[in-house]
Amino acid sequence: MPSPSLLQEVVADAAPLLGGGKVADYIPELAKVPSQKLGIAVCTARDGVIGAGDYQEPFSIQSISKVFALVQTMGLYEERELWQRVGKEPSGNPFNSLVQLEFEKGVPRNPFINAGALVITDMLQTRLSAPRQRMLEMVRNLSGNEHIISDRTVAMSEYQHSARNAAIAYLMKSFGNFDNEVEQVLHTYFSHCAIRMSCADLARAFFFLCNKGASLDHRNVLSEKQNRQVNALLATSGLYDGSGEFAYRVGMPGKSGVGGGIIAVIPGEMSVCVWSPELDSSGNSLAGIAMLEQVSKRLGRSIF
Ligand code: GLN
């Protein structure tokens, strides 16, 4: 069980790394976020959330939303239907890569790269009448924070620079693996990515991942089996082409976003969220990974 002072030490240890990475600038609005931020929050059944640094400050969750989207899809589709449209393998390529799609007939490697999340969002668009609203309801319920919003300016900024995501979606459509209008699905996907949450919100919201699928307020978000499956995919693909390095250094299922957030879990014990906007070459938070590495080292934890 980490103490508030341990978390403060973890933040202090990561401070020298500030300046060593690069804030995402391919979404112009994200480039405006101050880079000198460090936050960490941990959630346990006994103590709820504790945190250090900038852990109460909301940031753009970006690809962390891909986990919420996958969880929603698992509740709406049969297992077989879902996994015939998206794979379960690590991609070994950057998060926004197109290359494998051509060879693999429009079926993305996993749900956590952009191609996979776009297929998942397409599936949500088919089954939900108001997918953006449903996503907000989900994150508000899970985090217990009614004030969470999706930032329209960030979503619009990304839409104006969406050539690559649109290309990915159209390529999948050409293979018959995309049912709805590409533009409509892109709007939903960017709205999910533009949700603003703090480390505290995210640690609370993802508590179910360390608790056999049950949320802090004892609702079944996933079955125990589905929860294991999601954690397995996070451990193998949650940090894109940095997933192997992350497993080696940190040893927790995790998911990053280009806003600089990373969520991770120690199954049976706690959920963790770190935030620092400067990214490494794989698009993962540089200081964020270092903070998680410190947590696993100081607590002596790894799923391996
Ligand atoms: N919205 C971002 C994109 O589609 C999400 C990528 C990420 O966080 N890795 O490019």
Q: In the prediction, which pLDDT does 84 show? A: 97
Q: How far apart are CA 161 and CA 174, in angstroms?
A: 22
Residues 6+ apart with CB under 8 A from 202: 41, 61, 64, 143, 261, 263, 273
**Quick one: pLDDT at residue 50?**
98
Q: What pLDDT score was predicted for residue 124?
A: 98
Question: Smallest Cα–Cα separation from 294: which of 248, 243, 250?
Answer: 250
**10 Å Cβ neighbour count for 91?**
21
User: Which residue's C-alpha comes closest to atom 3 of ligand 1?
Assistant: 114
**CA neighbours within 13 Å on the CB side: how many for 222?**
27
- Cβ–Cβ < 8 Å for 280, 44: no
Q: Rounded to the nearest 5°, which phi and psi values hold at 285?
A: -60, 125
* CATH 3.40.50.720 correct for 64-193: no
What percent helix, strand, coil does the chain show, rounded to 5? Answer: 50, 15, 35
* Separation between Cα atoms, residue 90 and residue 85, nearest integer Å: 15
Fold (topology level) of 4-62+196-299: Beta-lactamase (3.40.710)
In this prediction, residue 287 carries a pLDDT of 98
**Cα 299 to middle of ligand 1, angstroms:** 31
Taking the C-alpha atoms of residue 43 and residue 216, their distance in angstroms, rounded to an integer, is 9
> Of all atoms in ligand 1, which is nearest to the CA of residue 257?
8
4-62+196-299 and 64-193 have identical folds: yes
Residues with CB under 6 Å of ligand 1 are: 62-63, 95-96, 114, 158, 165, 193, 257-258, 283
Q: How far apart are CA 286 and CA 275, in angstroms?
A: 10
Domain limits of the chain?
4-62+196-299, 64-193
Instruction: Using most ligand atoms within 8 A of CB, pick from 120, 239, 258, 280 the residue to mutate for ligand 1.
Output: 258
**pLDDT for res 1:** 77
- How does pLDDT run along the chain (304 residues), one tens digit per residue? 789 999 999 999 999 999 999 999 999 999 999 999 999 999 999 999 999 999 999 999 999 999 999 999 999 999 999 999 999 999 999 999 999 999 999 999 999 999 999 999 999 999 999 999 999 999 999 999 999 999 999 999 999 999 999 999 999 999 999 999 999 999 999 999 999 999 999 999 999 999 999 999 999 999 999 999 999 999 999 999 999 999 999 999 999 999 999 999 999 999 999 999 999 999 999 999 999 999 999 999 999 9
Q: Name the DSSP class of 60.
A: E
The predicted structure's pLDDT at residue 53: 98
Distance 218 CA to ligand 1 centre (A): 31
Residue 248 and residue 50 in contact, taking contact as beta carbons nearer than 8 Å: no
pLDDT confidence of residue 300: 93
Helix 131-143, helix 182-193: angle, nearest 10: 20
**Which pLDDT belongs to residue 59?**
98
